[in-house]
């Protein structure tokens, strides 16, 4: 047997010997979120770890004896908060209303999962389970951090949406609003004066809502669903305190598509972790359709939630009219078996392996809603993109890609056959978009370690050391005014004011003394 084979077997044995028992929390059942997070579950299982996942979406990869599923069934109905009709009518464009909407969604989704009988059994269990680590998605579900308190386990979170101000605060950072725009604003890091004004106002409003509405409601949920079950462990900690106990945050962020911002050593950038360097073979029909495309292929998907099949019929026809005039073939993810009459160069499927399609050498262009995952996959594969953003961070992702010179944006309300065809032809015929996309792709991939390997290293690091105190700053213990040195500024300001007052009083006393001396001299004379 070769030495390398022996070494590999040794590493596998060591890996399994050091396997951890991990509780993986995915209460939000957004399909794209689950698709992203399930890659981490699969990788952990492949490395010999035991994973118990609380999820609203069933794990469909190959069965593994190390995997246990606590299913939230029926899953949370996201459409109660946002309907496809409202999305296509672009009703979610105000960042101020979106902040309140996200917090309300998070609270509603969190409670829905916590009151599920399967989840309650785990909460009420006594000494039946042991976990070396709790992994939770960082997406408006802070109440669920109480599982780490219950099992006395360290915490790793995975932020599928990138960075946000509250993540900075939980790590002792003060977000520099002068050049870091709020997550929901489609501003670059080079903001105008009035953009900075809006950024400050929105960020303050977000902080106000979080302090006065969102976190108090999280604490109520924690008391309601964990309070009685964890009485033996003493008083329930505040959710805010559990947030500060997060050991490592794995963040869907890559400098090739996002501008630098301050971070702490326990905030690890893992943008592209879900992308495999070697794509899989495509389903036969799709593979043949792409392989035989002499002029290349355009791939279109509006994401896992926004359904193309739900768009107004007249808009759908505008897309088809534009596509029918192109020499390229078009693959369109269309979530219905009831297909419209299609041009010869268009294929529709309810599901498509997006990452593998985008990696095909014949794909020339990606039409996307601008979600973080699609944007990442398009960038990784060096494709020009046409963004059709609807809500959330999609507008900002579109802006960043346009600024990088790799994409164009078309508002859904502005779409007709002519505007769509014009944008597509510009992206296809002007080589600067492809060349720039290739440049950004090379930067994206240029890393000493694959993001998934980096993510798993830090997960295992936290388990090995039972936390990550060496990566955390003592700034988390400071109040906001101490962090900004406002107490020192206040002291200095007070000293200056007192000095000025003392000088003023001293001058006044001297003037009074001189005046009295002068009066005495006049009396004597």
Query: Who's near 447: CB < 8 A, 6+ residues apart?
Result: none
Regarding whether 36 and 177 lie in a shared domain, the answer is: yes
Among 92-96, 141-145, 265-269, 282-286, the minimum mean pLDDT is found in 92-96
CA atoms within 13 A on the CB side of 74: 3
Query: Who's near 367: CB < 8 A, 6+ residues apart?
Result: 298, 299, 300, 301, 385, 386, 388
Regarding whether 142 and 211 lie in a shared domain, the answer is: yes
Regarding whether 439 and 301 lie in a shared domain, the answer is: yes
pTM of structure: 0.89
Q: Which pLDDT does position 82 carry in this prediction?
A: 67
DSSP state at residue 128: S
Share of the chain above pLDDT 70, in %: 93
pLDDT tens-digit readout, 146-199: 999 999 999 999 999 889 999 999 999 999 999 999 988 888 899 999 999 999
DSSP state at residue 211: I
Regarding whether 421 and 315 lie in a shared domain, the answer is: yes
Work out the average pLDDT over 204-221: 97
Q: Which pLDDT does position 236 carry in this prediction?
A: 95
Q: Which pLDDT does position 94 carry in this prediction?
A: 82
Residue 4 lies in a domain: no
Residue 362 maps to which CATH number?
3.40.50.2000
Query: What is the chain's mean pLDDT, rounded?
Result: 91
The answer, yes or no, to whether residue 55 has pLDDT greater than 90, is: yes
Confidence of residue 29 (pLDDT cuts 50, 70, 90): confident
Confidence of residue 86 (pLDDT cuts 50, 70, 90): low
pLDDT tens-digit readout, 478-489: 888 888 899 999
SS3 500: helix
The answer, yes or no, to whether residue 93 has pLDDT greater than 70, is: no
Regarding whether 101 and 188 lie in a shared domain, the answer is: yes
Residue 521 lies in a domain: no
Residue 9 lies in a domain: no
Work out the average pLDDT over 261-270: 95
Residue 524 lies in a domain: no
Confidence of residue 514 (pLDDT cuts 50, 70, 90): confident
The answer, yes or no, to whether residue 3 has pLDDT greater than 80, is: no
Residue 155 lies in a domain: yes
Which residue from 246, 375, 217 is spatially nearest to 303, judged by alpha carbons?
375
Confidence of residue 128 (pLDDT cuts 50, 70, 90): confident
Q: Which pLDDT does position 194 carry in this prediction?
A: 97
Regarding whether 187 and 99 lie in a shared domain, the answer is: yes
Regarding whether 321 and 363 lie in a shared domain, the answer is: yes
Regarding whether 309 and 246 lie in a shared domain, the answer is: no
Residue 279 lies in a domain: no
Other C-beta atoms within 10 Å of 8: how many?
A: 11
Strands (E), 66-179: 67-71, 133-137, 155-159
Q: Which pLDDT does position 31 carry in this prediction?
A: 85
Residue 414 lies in a domain: yes
Regarding whether 382 and 269 lie in a shared domain, the answer is: no
The answer, yes or no, to whether residue 267 has pLDDT greater than 80, is: yes
157 to 24, 82, 380, 404, 455: CA distances (angstroms): 10, 26, 24, 29, 11
Q: Which pLDDT does position 329 carry in this prediction?
A: 97
Confidence of residue 87 (pLDDT cuts 50, 70, 90): low
Higher confidence at residue 17 or residue 221?
221
Regarding whether 155 and 304 lie in a shared domain, the answer is: no
Residue 5 lies in a domain: no
Regarding whether 218 and 157 lie in a shared domain, the answer is: yes
pLDDT tens-digit readout, 237-249: 999 999 999 999 9
The answer, yes or no, to whether residue 406 has pLDDT greater than 60, is: yes
Q: Which pLDDT does position 395 carry in this prediction?
A: 86
Q: Which pLDDT does position 10 carry in this prediction?
A: 47
> For the chain, how many helices (H) and strands (E)?
20, 13
pLDDT tens-digit readout, 414-452: 999 999 999 999 999 999 999 999 999 999 999 999 999
The answer, yes or no, to whether residue 272 has pLDDT greater than 90, is: yes
Q: Which pLDDT does position 89 carry in this prediction?
A: 61
Query: Which residue is associated with the tokens 């004597």?
Result: 524
Contact 200, 186 (CB under 8 A): no
Helices (H), 392-466: 394-403, 417-429, 431-445, 451-465
Work out the average pLDDT over 254-279: 92
Confidence of residue 11 (pLDDT cuts 50, 70, 90): very low
The answer, yes or no, to whether residue 145 has pLDDT greater than 50, is: yes
Range of the domain at 492: 479-513
d(CA 244, CA 473): 10
Q: Which pLDDT does position 338 carry in this prediction?
A: 83
The answer, yes or no, to whether residue 18 has pLDDT greater than 50, is: yes
Q: What does the radius of gyration of the chain's CA atoms come to, in whole angstroms?
A: 28
Regarding whether 507 and 470 lie in a shared domain, the answer is: no
Q: Which pLDDT does position 83 carry in this prediction?
A: 63
The answer, yes or no, to whether residue 2 has pLDDT greater than 90, is: no
Q: What is the number of domains present in the chain?
A: 3
């Amino acid at each position: 047997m070769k030495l390398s084979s022996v070494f590999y077997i040794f590493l596998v044995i060591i890996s399994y010997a050091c396997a951890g028992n991990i509780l993986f929390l995915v209460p939000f059942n957004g399909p794209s979120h689950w698709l992203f997070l399930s890659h981490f579950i699969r990788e952990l299982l492949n490395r010999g770890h035991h994973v118990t996942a609380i999820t609203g979406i069933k794990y469909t990869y190959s069965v593994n004896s190390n995997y246990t599923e606590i299913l939230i069934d029926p899953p949370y109905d996201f459409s109660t908060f946002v309907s496809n009709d409202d999305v296509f009518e672009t009703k979610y464009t105000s960042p101020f209303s979106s902040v309140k909407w996200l917090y309300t969604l998070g609270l509603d989704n969190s409670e829905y999962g916590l009151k599920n009988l399967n989840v309650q059994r785990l909460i009420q269990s006594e000494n039946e389970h042991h976990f070396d680590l709790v992994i939770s998605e960082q997406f408006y579900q802070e109440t669920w951090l109480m599982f780490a308190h219950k099992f006395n386990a360290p915490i790793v979170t995975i932020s599928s949406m990138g960075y946000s101000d509250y993540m900075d605060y939980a790590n002792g950072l003060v977000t520099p609003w002068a050049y870091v725009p709020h997550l929901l604003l489609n501003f670059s890091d080079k903001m105008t004066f009035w953009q900075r004004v809006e950024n400050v106002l929105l960020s303050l409003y977000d902080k106000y809502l979080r302090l006065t509405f969102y976190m108090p409601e999280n604490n109520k949920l924690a008391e309601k669903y964990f309070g009685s079950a964890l009485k033996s462990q003493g008083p329930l900690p505040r959710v805010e305190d559990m947030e500060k106990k997060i050991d490592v945050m794995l963040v869907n962020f890559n400098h090739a598509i996002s501008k630098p911002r301050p971070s702490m050593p326990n905030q690890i950038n893992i943008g592209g972790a879900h992308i495999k360097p070697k794509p899989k073979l495509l389903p036969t029909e799709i593979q043949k359709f792409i392989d035989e495309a002499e002029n290349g292929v355009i791939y279109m998907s509006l994401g896992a939630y926004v359904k193309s099949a739900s768009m107004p019929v007249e808009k759908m026809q505008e897309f088809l009219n534009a596509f029918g005039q192109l020499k390229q073939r078009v693959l369109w993810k269309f979530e219905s078996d009831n297909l419209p009459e299609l041009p010869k160069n268009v294929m529709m499927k309810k599901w498509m392996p997006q990452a593998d399609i985008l990696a095909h050498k014949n794909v020339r262009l990606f039409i996307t809603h601008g979600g973080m995952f699609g944007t990442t996959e398009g960038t990784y594969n060096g494709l020009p993109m046409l963004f059709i953003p609807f809500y959330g961070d999609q507008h900002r992702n579109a802006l960043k890609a346009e600024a990088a010179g790799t994409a164009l944006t078309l508002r859904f309300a502005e779409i007709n056959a002519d505007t769509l065809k014009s944008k597509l032809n510009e992206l296809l015929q002007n080589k600067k978009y492809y060349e720039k996309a290739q440049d950004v792709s090379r930067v994206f991939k240029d890393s000493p370690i694959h993001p998934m390997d980096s993510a798993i290293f830090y997960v295992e690091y936290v388990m090995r050391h039972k936390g990550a105190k060496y990566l955390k700053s003592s700034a988390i213990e400071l109040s906001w005014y101490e962090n900004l040195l406002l107490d020192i500024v206040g002291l200095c300001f007070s000293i200056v004011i007192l000095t000025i007052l003392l000088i003023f009083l001293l001058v006044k006393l001297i003037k009074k003394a001189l005046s009295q001396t002068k009066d005495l001299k006049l009396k004597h004379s």
